[in-house]
Every structure is written in structure tokens, then in C-alpha cells.
Structure 1
Amino acid sequence: MSAYISNLHLSHFRSHRGLRLSFDGRPVAIYGPNGAGKTNILEAISMLSPGRGLRRAPSEDLIRRPEVIGWRVAATLQIDDTVHEIITRAEPSSPRQVEIDEKSAPQLALARLLRMVWLVPSQDRLWIEGAEGRRRFLDRITLSFFPDHGEAVLAYEKSMRDRNRLLKDQVRDAGWYAALERQMMSAAEQICANRSAALTRIAAAQEEAETSFPIADLALEEGEGFTAPTDLVTLWSDTRSRDMAAGRTLVGPHRTDLGAIYRVKDAPARQCSTGEQKALLVSLILANARALKQDTGRAPLVLLDEVAAHLDADRRAALFDEICALNAQAFLTGTGAELFMEFGARAQEVPLGVEAAN
């Protein structure tokens, strides 16, 4: 079973006024000078999944300047013998819209149709920066396994925002808090269960594979006072005074961190070298893709921005071999064709020049 994008059309998206590309299901090596719009293509593809894409940019920022007439990404998705037409777009000052087979659909419907994983240069500092980035990384992995995870996160965040508003306004009516905390609890149970299950799948996929990339032992670090979802209703009740002083909810799955240990060295990822940290990230993305293929029968789309430049020739060859073994449609970017020589005829090349982005 396979799933791949066969046609992609960008209109007024970032640097691309209009761009049409056709693909045959092989990995795609996109190369060209800086400013040619390589990452913009990957970002457009990432908009075929729920959320704000691989750069987490607001829809307004995706509009090509100076026209400012709205952007559009259209793709033909081939899933075995079935073809789906996907369109996502946004007009200035308007929310993003999604159509699947000429019918309006919520963004979360994209996750049920197409699984996607990605790695971008901004994630290179994942292990040494704040917990928020690692939490987003964790939830992106979790969403790839559980398409309804996004709905649970949105429901939890909405109830928490309402609770935080009460806290800031110094409301002391316990009944208002109890109702919101029950709603938060329902979503928190699902969030915690999904995250735990996702990490279990990643761990299994790392153990089952022979790979040139290192294994990372992952763990959820829940934070002060939070040991399990069943503790939360009582915990939120007990900590209302402290939360009121802070003006926000201080414990819960919104404070979860992702811990990683480089197994060979038994060292936290944050203490590893830059190269080791990059290799750990690549390992996790590959494990995510392998686990999804085991679970669904189809490899996800894999987006890897500028990853080849940060790997030596042996690691690049190993990465390309693993992508091909997965039978995954991967989109990789780099500044020159030489970065993808190890692919040979196994990959489709898309050279871009500065003029191609105009």
C-alpha cells in the first residue's frame, strides 16, 4: 500500500507566484541556491496537514508579496488506486480553508487522510531550548498516530483559557472552576494516554530496526505535582490559590516536557554534541515513519529540510537507504545536487533557480 502526492500546484504562496510540479512516488530531491524557494515548497506540502505547518507561520505570512491576493495549495493525493483532490487556501485576514474532493472539510480531516512527519533546521536546538518546542514536537508525533489528538489538545486549551480568565479576574466561585476542571480532565486523560502510547510505538520502532542512527530513550516529564491524569481534578482544586496568584494554571499536560537520553553515552540529549543531537532527531523521525507504516500499512510523507548538509556521506547514504526501504515519498532540500548523489536513480530531482521562484 502506498500514498503519495502526484501533483502539486502553488499559487501566490510565499515566493512562488505559480508553481506546478508532478511526482511519481519516489523520494524528491529539491536543490538550488538560497532564495530559490525550496523550503517554501516543503512548507506548502506541510499545509496539507492540520495546524500551522512546519514553520508555524500565520496564514497571513504565507501570502506572496506584493500582490497580497491570498494563497492556495492544491494537491492530487494517490492512495493505492484511489485519488483525492486536496485544496487549502486563505484570503487576507481570513482563516485557512480546506477542501477534500470538492467538499469543505475541517483541518483535522487532513490527518485522517494523510500522515506526515518532518524535520527542519529550527528543530536543531530542540534539546537545548525551552519545553514548549519539545512539547510541540511530541504532539506532532502523537498526532501522526492519533488524528483525534489535535481535537483533545484544542479542547483542553480552550477550557484552560477559560479557567485562566477566572483566575486573572480573581473569581472565587468553586462551582465555575469545578465545571471547567472536569472538562480539562476529560481532555487531559486522552492527551496523556495518546502521548504515552506514541512514545511506546517510537521506542518499539527504534528497537526493531537496524539503523545507522542512534537510539534515544524518551520519557515524559510531567512537572511539579503532576504524576498522572487521575490526580489532576484534586490537584487543580488544591492549587487554585497558587494559580490565582500566578494568574494561570501551573500544572497539567500543558507543562509536560519530553526527555531524551542518548543511549550509547547514557547522556541527556541536551549535553550531546550538535551532530549527535541532529542524529537523534533524524533517528526519531525515521522511527516515527517506520511505526506509522507498521500501524497503517503505508509510510507517511517525510519532509526533511536541509538535512543532508548536516550529515557526512556515510550518514547521508544510510538516511537515503532507510527512506527507500520505507517506500516513503520524502521531500528533501539542499543547495546542490551533490548532496543527493547517494540516491542515484532512486530519487526524482527538482532543480530550482532564482528565476523559478518568481
Structure 2
Amino acid sequence: MIVNALELDFFRNYTHLEASFDPRVNLIYGDNAQGKTNLLEAVAYLSAARSHRARYDREMIMMGIDSAFLKGEVASRDRVFTLEAKLFRGRGRQLFSNGVRLKTAGELAGILTTVLFCPEDLYLIREGSSARRRFLDGAICQLRPRYSQALAEYNRLYDHKTRILRDWPENPSLLQTLDDFNLRLAQTGAILIHYRAHFIRRMEKHAPAIHADFSGGRERLELSYETVSTVTDPMAQPREILPQLLAHQESHRQAELDARQCLSGPHKDDLVVSIGGQLAKTYASQGQTRTAVLSLKLAQREIFQEETGEWPVLLLDDVLSELDSKRQAFVLNRIRGGQVFITCCEEEKLEGLEGGRVFHIRDGSIVTNI
């Protein structure tokens, strides 16, 4: 998959941008806060209509402006796609593929897949479970339209149920709708668990091998899936998981009413990472943590390649400068093939890259490109 060109209007700090890219390596450099990360965020947004650093689309619209526009020309599946996103402050968004408006973000799945590696990811292991859920959600949404739709619906239902549990003592009639929300949450939650379990199983085939290469065979990486305790087989079909989720909800019903918050469901899931039999979150060194995260991201890239037959677009946001020379070399050797975008603060920081184009970004504009 190749991003041939990108056009932005009023996206973050870009008043207007038009750029074409090399199918191999694109090195983007400049001082901090000039727009390097914003450029990679735009590419990633066109792949799944999700941002790794904005909860709401309006956060990506330039201050004082009512709307933003993103357009990418993408070579994928032996075709050329024109992907467009129109973001409106307070009025949602519109997504298009080749001029046809999409009903859901899930319809973007498989057109443009991206793997983003940013400095925040170096803390993926040590952060709470929500960071690892975001990693799983971002990856699976690009591959499975059904998952993307179920995740959006689950989040919507979860927000409604949260308000019911928060407000029911002041408005007891709200409890009349609780059973309906519980059923629909369990139905969508069963889909999430099913797809998460299968994706983690595929991760187990790739990440430990990459980690072993990284560590010279000295360390063993292990992954496991932690979900609702009543679910006996997360890889089962959603219809088999559903009654198990309903049973868990019922057992926690009074506790939820007392706590006035949602305590049951896959919104508490976790991807558990261990190194040498010890929980990485608690016991891994800084070097081990970075190696584990790199292994997860590179495993995601290989899964995407298996799934689509094409390498996903790899987005490395100022991350190689955070790594020692050994880890830099490992990553650069692993990313041969496919299109890569790499940002850094100084052009000369990265060596060992051959071919491609170099862009200098300043204040939301490309001032030079080679």
C-alpha cells in the first residue's frame, strides 16, 4: 500500500498542504511543534478515521475554523483510491472513498492500513490496560469492518449506561431501560472479545519470534488475553460468549448500582505481556520494555501484510531517536519493503536509509523537499 499524495486544509496547523511521496522512504524533519506529527496523524486518520492523540475529531480542526479537510491518493489492491475526510466542528464528519460517501468508518478497512509507532508507545507496556486496548482497537479496526462498527456501538451504549448508573438515585425511572442497555452491551461486547482473542492469537505467532531476534534469543516474550472472568473461551463465536457476559452482568448488577458505574464488560480487557515468565508491566527494565513494544508493533505490521498481501504504510514518529543504535539498526533492517514515513528533529540523525525523499517542515508548511 502506498500513499501517493496528501492534501490538507485547516487540519491542525496546516492551513493548506499538497504533497506527493516516495513509495519507499519519506524522511520528514524540522524543529518541534512545526507539524511533523500532524502530517503522520493525517495519514493514519485516513486509514481508520481514528486519531492516536485526539478523542474528538474537532480537536484536529484549526483553531477559529469550522471545518477541516483531508484527502489522500492511495495505491492499494492493484487500484487507486481517493480517500477523503471532512471534519466539522460540532457537526460530525463525512468520509468518502472514490467520491462515494461511506456510512461507517468500518468501510475504510483494508483500503489503507497503517502501523504507527510514536514516542508514547514506548510506555505502552508500563501504562494501564486502556493503552493496550487502544493498541488492539486501532489494529483490528483497520482489518475488520464488523469490529469497528461494534466498537463504536459499544462505546455509545457504555456512555448511556454510565449516565443511567450515575443518575438513577435522583431519577429512579432510568432503571427501566437498564436491562435493554445490558443486553445490547453484551451483544456488542461478545463481538469485541471474539475479535480481540483471535488477533492476540495471531500476535502470539509473530511477536515472540521478533523479540527473540531482538534479544539474541536470551529472552522469551509471552502474550495472553485477560477478559471477563465468566468467558470460558474468548475465541468462541459471539453467540456462545453472549450468555456468559449476561451472567457476569447479572452477578455485578447490585455492585454497579451501588458504585454508580459500569463494572462488567470488555472495556476492562487487557493484553498481558510477560518476559521470561514475569509480568513486563511490573518487572521489565527500560530496555526490555522498549524491545517488547517494538516487537508488538512489528508483529502488527506482519499480520497486516499476511492479511492484505501488501505491506502497510509504516509511520515512525520521532521514535528512532529514542532508541540506541542497536535497536535503530534492528528496526531499519526489519522495515525493508513497503512505504515508510519517518519524522525526526534533525535530518542527519538517521543514517542507513537509502533512496526516498526528504521533507523539511516549518510552521505547517513544506519549505523544502528533495
- Three-state SS of the structure 2 residue aligned to 1:48 is helix
d(CA) in 2 for partners of 1:232, 1:36:
47
- Partner residue of 1:27 out of 20, 25, 28: 25
> Among 247, 251, 256, which residue is 1:234 paired with?
247
Q: Structure 2 vs 1, CA of residues 271 and 211 (structure 1 numbering), >3 Å: closer, same or farther?
A: same
TM superposition score normalised by structure 1? 0.88
Within the candidate set 316, 320, 332, 2:342 is matched to: 332
Q: 1:224 touches 1:251 (CA, 8 Å); kept in 2?
A: no
Q: Which residue in 1 is equivalent to 2:129?
A: 131
1:1-358 counterparts in 2 under 5 A?
A: 3-65=1-63, 68-105=65-102, 106-168=104-166, 169=168, 171=172, 176-207=177-208, 211-212=213-214, 216-222=221-227, 229=241, 230-263=243-276, 266-324=278-336, 327-345=337-355, 347-354=356-363, 356=365
The worse-fitting range, judged by mean Cα deviation, of 329-338 and 116-125 is 116-125
Cα distance in structure 1, aligned partners of 2:14 and 2:163:
42
SS in 2 for 1:285: helix
- Secondary structure of the corresponding residue to residue 49 of structure 1: helix
| 1:130 to partner: Cα distance | 2.4
C-alpha displacement at 1:174, in angstroms? Answer: 8.6
1:297-322 CA-partner distances (Å, limit 9, x unpaired): 11112222111111122321221121
Task: From the superposition, tell whether residues 90 and 144 of structure 1 become closer, same or farther in structure 2 (CA, over 3 Å).
Answer: closer
Secondary structure of residue in 1 paired with 2:273: strand
Task: Tell me the distance in 1 between the aligned counterparts of 2:49 and 2:192.
Answer: 17
Structure 1 unmatched runs, 5+ = none
Q: Is the 8 A contact 1:145 1:198 kept in 2?
A: no
Question: What's the CA shift string for 1:46-100, capped at 9, x where partnerless?
Answer: 210334312124222222245x252211110112531111111223332122111
Tell whether the 8 Å contact from 1:218 to 1:259 is kept in structure 2 after alignment.
yes
1:173 Cα deviation (Å)?
A: 9.6
Going from structure 1 to structure 2, the CA distance change for 1:4 and 1:177 (only over 3 Å counts) comes to: same
**Could you tell me how far apart the structure 2 residues matched to 1:340 and 1:100 are?**
35
* Pair 147,208 (structure 1): closer, same or farther in 2 beyond 3 Å: farther
Corresponding residue SS for 1:344: coil
Letter matched to residue 276 of structure 1: Q
Cα contact 1:127–1:270 (8 A) shared by 2 = no
User: Which amino acid letter does the alignment assign opposite residue 351 of structure 2?
Assistant: M
Q: Distance in 2 between matches of 1:292 and 1:24?
A: 21
Rounded to whole Å, the distance in 1 between the matches of 2:209 and 2:154 is: 34
CA distance in structure 2 between the aligned counterparts of 1:133 and 1:301, rounded to whole angstroms: 22
- Residues 271 and 147 (structure 1), Cα distance of their counterparts in 2 relative to 1, 3 Å cut: farther
After superposition, the Cα gap between the structure-2 partners of 1:260 and 1:176, relative to the gap in structure 1 and judged at 3 Å, is same
Q: CA deviation at 1:333?
A: 0.8
CA distance in 1, matches of 2:76, 2:364: 33
Give CA deviations for 1:248-297 in whole Å, capped at 9, x if unaligned.
2212111112211124x745244323332222111111101111111221
Q: How many residues align?
A: 351
State the identity %.
Answer: 24
Q: Are the structure 2 counterparts of residues 11 and 211 from structure 1 closer, same or farther at C-alpha, using a change threshold of 3 Å?
A: farther
Q: Following the alignment from structure 1 to structure 2, what is the Cα–Cα distance between the partners of residues 322 and 343?
A: 12
- Mapped to 2, the partners of 1:272 and 1:81 lie a distance apart of 43
3-state SS of 2:333 partner:
helix
Q: Give, in whole Å, the separation in 1 of the partners of 2:229 and 2:308.
A: 36
Task: Please tell me the root mean square deviation across aligned C-alpha atoms, in Å.
Answer: 2.6
Kindly indicate whether the alpha-carbon contact (under 8 Å) linking 1:236 and 1:251 is maintained by their aligned counterparts in 2. Answer: yes
Contact 2:125 / 2:293 at 8 angstroms: preserved in 1? no
| Cα distance in structure 2, aligned partners of 1:293 and 1:218 | 21
Give the drift of 1:116.
Answer: 1.8
Partner SS, residue 129 of structure 1: coil
Q: Distance in 1 between matches of 2:357 and 2:350?
A: 10
Residue 132 of structure 1, CA deviation:
1.7
Q: Is the 8 A contact 1:118 1:303 kept in 2?
A: yes
Q: CA deviation at 1:236?
A: 1.2
Partners of 1:36 and 1:357 within 8 A in 2: no
